Amino acid sequence: MLTIEHHPEGIPEKVVRLSDPESGLHGCIVLHSTRLGPAAGGCRFWHYRDDGELNRDALRLAEGMAMKNAMAGLPLGGGKAVLQVPEGPYDRGEMFRAFGRAIEMLAGEYVTAEDVGTTVADMEQVARSTSHVAGLEPQDGRPGGDPSPWTALGVFKAMEVAVRHRLGRDLADVTVAVQGLGNVGYALCELLHGAGARLVVADTRSEVVARAASNFGAMVVSSASHGGVSEIGQVAADVWAPCALGGALSSQQVDALKAKVVCGAANNQLVDMDVADKIVAKGVLYAPDYLVNAGGIINVAAEYLGWDEAQVVARVNAIPERLEQVLDLSVRESVSPAHAANIVACQLIREGREYRDTKAA
């Protein structure tokens, strides 16, 4: 059922292939790095064309988790599980219990949680086979459950810093265009509205945009995309907050952008690193996605490691300070904020050092 490829000196450290025809389990777990602690990262359950596409996604996502966890100052490495949605009929509970048994065989080297395509109910099934799982229902007042409000809070606090840095203003004096009013985007709108910001919003679901218009006085624009450029990404706003899918920042989108700050929750916003330089050349401040959206993984880590809510609050409150340091580094080294964040995260992983004293990093 498990085939493990070890890469002793390399990155990723380990690739674990999963195959259990009986339950329908098929996919892989990538342990990108365990230098800072157990490789933590959610489980994606998706339709892939073939194993090649599945493996590439797992490798990319595991690396992203290693960078995010290091930058968030967590004692966790980075990993990811990617599972293929079975073609025929299958028992979902049995499949996730089989996945749990595979995780248990790794004896704590990998910790899973929800990601695209998986739910709290799936993680409850995983938990029947292993304790190395988070994203379960909160119990006895301890952290757990939906991490989105923490993600939104981290993005909000980072946005305050980014707006002050680039525009010298408070959130009460800006217009923010929010793309995607899901769990994170809607909570972010609530915080921004509370701070006095004006809102422009777009979502493919008409009911949530109507709710944002009524509750927050938000202006609504279409979520349609023309030639890779979304309407919400080119409105006359001060800040653009991508909170829908990845890949929001393409070269064409940057050309069309009117906002001076980009700060949102979506993962993998940059289509490639060349776009990061293009954003700088345009005079736009891009707040690195995995730095600002770490609130969710901080809550997940707290659940797994047994921290209380005060620890979650303290660590989410450290996100804006980290952004300031990354922005300072980007000026000092004449690199984009995205490159500066990668420099810091890679250094922490290489040295096996937690980002405790951020000023020393």
Q: What is the contact surface with ligand NAI in residues (CB under 6 A)?
A: 147-148, 151, 179-185, 202-205, 208, 223, 243-246, 265-267, 293, 296
Between residues 182 and 228, which has the closer beta carbon with respect to ligand NAI?
Answer: 182
Q: Is the peptide bond before 12 cis (omega within 30 degrees of 0)?
A: yes
Which residue, 20 or 231, has its beta carbon nearer to ligand NAI?
A: 231
One-character DSSP codes across 226-290: ETTEEGGGGSS-SEEEE-SSS--B-HHHHHH---SEE----SS-BSSHHHHHHHHHTTPEE--HH
Angle, helix 273-281 to helix 337-351, in steps of 10 degrees = 140
Smallest distance, Å, CB 185 to ligand NAI? 5
**Minimum distance from residue 309 beta carbon to ligand NAI (Å):** 16
Q: With contact defined as beta carbons under 8 Å apart, do 68 and 290 qualify?
A: yes
Choice between 23 and 179, CB closer to ligand NAI:
179
* 284/319 with CB nearer ligand NAI: 319
- Quick one: angle between helices 309-317 and 148-167, nearest 10? 20
What is the number of the residue whose Cβ is closest to ligand NAI? 182
Which two structure tokens, joined as six digits, stand for 120?
Answer: 């709290």
Q: Is 260 a catalytic residue?
A: no
**Residue tagged 């599945």 (tokens):** 54
Q: Which is nearer to ligand NAI, 244 or 349 (CB)?
A: 244
Shortest Cβ 155–ligand NAI spacing (Å): 9
- Do 241 and 178 form a contact (C-beta atoms < 8 A)? yes
CB 264 to ligand NAI: min, Å: 8
Beta bridge mates, 241: 178
- The catalytically annotated residue of 80, 157, 260, 278 is 80
Alpha-carbon span 180 to 228, nearest angstrom: 16
CB of 322 to ligand NAI, least distance (A): 15
Q: Taking the CA of residue 321 as centre, how many other CA atoms within 13 Å lie in the half-sphere pointing to its CB?
A: 14
**For residue 36, what is the DSSP state?**
S
- Catalytically active residues are 80
